[in-house]
Amino acid sequence: MRLLRLVLLLAFITVLSLVYVHQQVEAVKLSYAIESKEKKLKDMLDHNESLGYNIDNLESPSRLEKILLAHNIEIVYPKRKNVVRMARLTPKAEAERRVRLGVEKGANILSAFDFFVGRAEAHAKEK
Residue ranges per domain, the chain?
A: 2-126
pLDDT score recorded for residue 103: 55
User: What does each of the 127 residues of the chain score in pLDDT, given as a tens digit?
Assistant: 899 999 999 999 999 999 999 999 999 999 999 999 999 999 999 999 999 999 988 888 888 888 888 998 888 888 888 888 877 778 888 888 777 766 555 555 555 565 555 554 444 444 4
SS (H, E, C) 69-101: HHCCCCCCCCCHHHCCCCCCCCHHHHHHHHHHH
The pLDDT assigned to 115 comes to: 56
Please tell me the predicted confidence (pLDDT) of residue 117: 57
CA distances from 56 to 47, 59, 61, 62, 64 (A): 14, 5, 10, 11, 11
pLDDT on residue 88? 79
pLDDT, position 105: 54
Q: What pTM was computed for the model?
A: 0.44
pLDDT confidence of residue 101? 67
